[in-house]
Amino acid sequence: MWFQILLVLALVGTAVYLLRSTPNAKHLAIRRLVVFLGLAAGVVVVVAPGVLTGMARAVGIGRGADLLFYVAIVAGLVYVVNEYKRSVQLARANTQLARELALAEARLQDRIAELERKEPS
């Protein structure tokens, strides 16, 4: 059952991806490529269901439906991880924006106070 090894590797890979890399243009390209390949594979499997069963047999799983199920779980996890990373990035950008706003306002107030002290109107 070397598919079990494959599956465990995929899950571990997802965990490493969660901890390590930060999204960039290269990752985006790879993600899009994977989505495209997934769609193409979907079409192939729908048109010729026998292919899926053949692939499942090849990796040591009896039924094509089982293979599909496993792949779907891994794909779902990768999606969740991606979305999580994206939301963390957005939260950081949001914090920076809010901080710059707060600091800009504070600098402005300080400058005004300074000018008012110099020439009391």
Partner 1 sequence: MSGMPPAPPSGIAGAHGAERDGGSWVVIPLYNEASVIAGVIAELQEVFPHIVCVDDGSTDGSAEVAEAAGARVVRHPYNLGQGAALQTGISYAREQPGVEFIVTFDADGQHRVVDAVAMIALARAEDAAIVFGSRFLDDRTRPGLLKKAVLKTAVRVTNLTTGLTLTDAHNGLRVIRVDAARAVSLKQDRMAHATEIVLQLGRTGLPYREFPVEVLYTDYSRAKGQSLLNSINILVDLVIN
Question: Which residues in this chain contact partner 1 in the complex, by CB under 8 A?
Answer: 18-20, 22, 84, 88, 91-92, 94-95, 98-99, 101-103, 105-106, 109-110, 113-114, 117
Distance CA 19, CA 81 (A): 10
CB closer to partner 1 out of 6 and 18: 18
CB closer to partner 1 out of 55 and 81: 81
CB of 104 to partner 1, least distance (A): 10
CB of 94 to partner 1, least distance (A): 8
CB closer to partner 1 out of 5 and 80: 80
Please list, in sequence order, all residues whose beta carbon lies within 8 angstroms of the beta carbon of residue 7, skipping any fewer than 6 positions away.
70, 74
Asked whether 38 and 32 are in contact (CB, 8 A), the reply is no
CB of 26 to partner 1, least distance (A): 17
Rounded to the nearest 10 degrees, what angle do helices 64-118 and 49-58 cross at? Answer: 90
What is the token pair recorded at 59? 């990796």
Dihedral angle computed from the Cα positions of residues 84, 90, 95 and 96, in that order, rounded to the nearest 10 degrees: 130
CB closer to partner 1 out of 37 and 103: 103
CB of 105 to partner 1, least distance (A): 7
Distance CA 104, CA 111 (A): 11
